[in-house]
Amino acid sequence: MSVFEVYARIFDLLSPREKRRFVVLVILVMAMGLFDVMGVASVLPFLAVVSNPSAVQDSAWLSWFYDVTGAQDVRQFMMILGFSVFGFVLVTTLVRAGAFYALTYFTKMRIMTLATRLMEVYLSQPYAWFLQRNSSELGKTVLQEVMLVVNGPVTAAMRLLANGVMLALLVGLLFVIEPGAALGAAVLFGGTYGLIFIATRHQLTRMGRGRVDSSRAQFQIVQEALGGIKAVKLMALERSYLRRFQKPAHDAARHQAGVTLIAELPRQLLEVIAFGGMVLFVLWLLARREGMIGDVLPILGVYAFAAARMFPTIQSVFASISEIRYGKPALDQLHAELTRPVAERLPDGKAPPPLPLKRDLVLDRVTFAFPEADRPALDALSLTIPAHSIIGIVGSTGAGKTTLVDTILGLLVPQSGRLLVDGQEIGPQNVRRWQRSIGYVPQDIYLTDDSIAANIAFGVPEGQIDMAAVIAAAKVAELHDFIIETLPKGYDTAVGERGARLSGGQRQRIGIARAIYGNPDMLVFDEATSALDNLTERAIMDAVRALGHSKTIILIAHRLSTVRHCDKVFLLEQGRVVAADRYDGLVAKNAHFRALHEATA
């Protein structure tokens, strides 16, 4: 990929508004380069007058400026001219500083906009997409790769644009003043940098790919170690994870050191070349001007002043090109992620009205298969759940219970068949309304490092939390007495990261209270009481059954005691409903269910 293709890729990542601002920045950069060249050129008349005062009369422009200033003599004119040149160079420097500020601000703000857009792309993907992706890789891309791409190839591309324009204009100025010397310098320095880049470009690309892979491995290892810290401690795996982490960390550091070394390598070599070139340039000028130091001094001064600007600029151009090459793999990855099709439009923040369940929920010959699976997780499954009933769903591991629940929740879209609510098919046009009618309690409750009240009213801004609803939900979940009697701060008590300060049962009860808080039409308990003791489970299930006259309740369970009092129990095997009846009816009629019952008893 050429540098121009990198610019095209970066430009493709910008929004229409950002593209317009980028064009304005390009114009500003060109103006900055023009001012810089004018600043360097302004030194020439000053040095000409200093070396040869009679130049005031020889030059029409200097003679005109002399008259305009009203100087009394050439000495006074030199002072005025010197301060004028200094003032112009100062203005040039301020213009350049302003342009670089605008360029830097525009570039760094892309960290925010690109990360936000990437989060939007990810959040717009369907639930099934997340089941196939590694969460640590997604988090790394949002939190690290965006910053590395912006600070690396994007910043380098902006810096290359600014320095490249300035360098081209400075070289053009030197060609006008002394074409032969300018051509020789361009060939010497440009050729040196060009040869070094050609020799290292493939290595830079390899190091860039290696950095991306090393970073991915680091994030995954850290997430595994810290996410499973209990098992790590129990099994004494600390050293094992440290050893695993050191390898990609060492590789990432080695790649970064390599690109820094390559970017800085020419600087040392060119300092020697530049010094020797300047000596040869002086001797060449003296030979051409027959030793007339007065003629040589202005040209030499301009070249020296230009060189002071050019050498850091040339080095910056090379470093930018190296950084672009090194960061290209990360840029490619980010571009692929940001240009991923948006699967669904995110809600605009205004919640749609719920879609109430008044008559029945029907799954009509629903089939769903995960990629690369041997058989469908749901195989032409059909069932009907009457409104305001309590339904149990049981089956052995792998029977399809979780997939069935995710389909009912509208998270998985059937590949064939239909999900119907009161005869209305659930699809993209109304799935958000349907989901607003559901309260869901998973087996593993996700808690934020916030208060108990905030976790029950999950996602509700602090100032909008309905504490009466929070307390009512906590009472149903058998949580209120524990909060009031044992926690000094009550509902304001912080639960710690992922609920670390609570027991498993307490976390589960917060999850149940969360599902009840929004007063949904339907409650889905997905192994939600598995972490509770028998007495607590019985108390919660009594409270849940009391809600059964006004809500539809679905219980997914391994522990059959949870579904004993359901209006109907569905038995799943290999993605199909193989039996459906009241609990006692299944015990009497179905051998598999009877075996499960006897094993539980």
Evaluate the CA torsion angle 469, 409, 504, 458 in order and state its sign: negative
List of residues 6+ apart from 338 with CB closer than 8 A? 13, 114, 117, 118, 121
Residues 248 and 218: beta-carbon distance below 8 Å: yes
Q: What is the pLDDT of residue 299?
A: 64
Beta strands in 342-454 (DSSP E): 360-368, 378-386, 390-395, 416-421, 424-425, 438-441
Q: What is the pLDDT of residue 578?
A: 92
Rounded Cα distance between 520 and 440, Å, is 9
pLDDT average, residue stretch 471-480: 88
Q: What is the pLDDT of residue 103?
A: 85
Give me the long-range contacts of 47-56 (CB less than 8 A, separation at least 24): 47/297, 47/298, 47/301, 47/302, 48/298, 49/74, 49/77, 49/78, 49/81, 50/78, 50/297, 51/293, 51/294, 51/295, 51/297, 51/298, 52/294, 52/295, 53/78
Most confident of 208-222, 260-274, 374-388, 438-452: 374-388
Number of helices (H), then strands (E), in the chain:
23, 10
The band of 387, judged by pLDDT with boundaries at 50, 70 and 90, is very high
According to DSSP, the β-strands at 552-556 and 390-395 are parallel
Rounded Cα distance between 38 and 286, Å, is 26
Residues 287 and 218: beta-carbon distance below 8 Å: no
pLDDT average, residue stretch 60-77: 77
Q: What is the pLDDT of residue 188?
A: 72
Rounded Cα distance between 525 and 532, Å, is 13
Predicted confidence (pLDDT) at residue 589 exceeds the cutoff of 80:
yes
Q: What is the pLDDT of residue 276?
A: 65
Q: What is the pLDDT of residue 532?
A: 67
pLDDT average, residue stretch 534-540: 74
pLDDT average, residue stretch 572-583: 92
The count of other CB atoms within 10 Å of the CB of residue 579 is 17
Q: What is the pLDDT of residue 285?
A: 59
pLDDT average, residue stretch 291-304: 59
Q: Identify the H or E element spanning 579.
A: strand 576-581
Q: What backbone torsions phi and psi does residue 13 show, to the nearest 5 degrees?
A: -80, -15
The band of 360, judged by pLDDT with boundaries at 50, 70 and 90, is very high
The band of 576, judged by pLDDT with boundaries at 50, 70 and 90, is very high
Q: What percent of the chain has pLDDT over 70?
A: 89
Beta strands in 455-531 (DSSP E): 522-526
Q: What is the pLDDT of residue 384?
A: 94
Predicted confidence (pLDDT) at residue 305 exceeds the cutoff of 70:
no
Q: Tens digits of per-residue pLDDT, 189-240?
A: 777 777 777 877 788 888 888 888 888 888 888 878 877 776 787 678 888 8
Q: Which residue has the higher pLDDT, 549 or 254?
A: 254
pLDDT average, residue stretch 10-39: 85
Predicted confidence (pLDDT) at residue 295 exceeds the cutoff of 60:
no
Q: What is the pLDDT of residue 487?
A: 82
Q: Which residue has the higher pLDDT, 135 or 473?
A: 473
pLDDT average, residue stretch 173-201: 75
Domains of the chain: 3-338 (1.20.1560.10), 357-437+523-541+558-601 (3.40.50.300), 445-519 (3.40.50.300)
Rounded Cα distance between 109 and 63, Å, is 50
Beta partners for 522? Answer: 438, 552
Predicted confidence (pLDDT) at residue 294 exceeds the cutoff of 70:
no
Predicted confidence (pLDDT) at residue 365 exceeds the cutoff of 90:
yes
pLDDT average, residue stretch 412-430: 93
Beta strands in 479-534 (DSSP E): 522-526
Closest CA to 592 of 566, 572, 563: 572
Burial profile 272-294: b = 16 or more Cβ within 10 angstroms, e = fewer = eebeebeeebeeebeeeeeeeee
Q: Tens digits of per-residue pLDDT, 538-548?
A: 777 777 777 76
The count of other CB atoms within 10 Å of the CB of residue 221 is 20
Q: Tens digits of per-residue pLDDT, 108-130?
A: 898 889 988 888 888 888 888 88
Residues 571 and 391: beta-carbon distance below 8 Å: no
Q: Which residue has the higher pLDDT, 265 or 333?
A: 333
pLDDT average, residue stretch 336-353: 75
Most confident of 250-254, 343-347, 370-374: 250-254
Predicted confidence (pLDDT) at residue 368 exceeds the cutoff of 90:
yes
> Residue 353 carries which DSSP code?
P
Predicted confidence (pLDDT) at residue 420 exceeds the cutoff of 80:
yes
Predicted confidence (pLDDT) at residue 371 exceeds the cutoff of 90:
no
Q: What is the pLDDT of residue 284?
A: 62
Most confident of 7-11, 43-47, 174-178: 7-11
Look at 467-471, 496-500, 555-559 and tell me which has the smallest mean pLDDT.
496-500
Q: What backbone torsions phi and psi does residue 169 show, to the nearest 5 degrees?
A: -70, -40
Closest CA to 321 of 512, 502, 193: 193
Q: Which residue has the higher pLDDT, 415 or 132?
A: 415
Q: Tens digits of per-residue pLDDT, 240-266?
A: 888 888 998 898 888 888 888 777 776
Rounded Cα distance between 473 and 216, Å, is 42
Mean pLDDT over the full length of the chain:
82
257 to each of 125, 265, 269, 546, how far by Cα in Å?
37, 12, 19, 66
Residue 152 Ramachandran class (φ > 0 left, ψ -120 to 50 alpha, else beta): alpha
Predicted confidence (pLDDT) at residue 601 exceeds the cutoff of 70:
no
Q: What is the pLDDT of residue 27?
A: 86
Predicted confidence (pLDDT) at residue 275 exceeds the cutoff of 70:
no
Rounded Cα distance between 45 and 5, Å, is 42
Predicted confidence (pLDDT) at residue 583 exceeds the cutoff of 60:
yes
What's the token pair of residue 305?
């002043």
pLDDT average, residue stretch 266-282: 66
Q: What is the pLDDT of residue 580?
A: 92
Closest CA to 78 of 105, 102, 93, 56: 56
470 to each of 451, 525, 541, how far by Cα in Å?
12, 19, 19
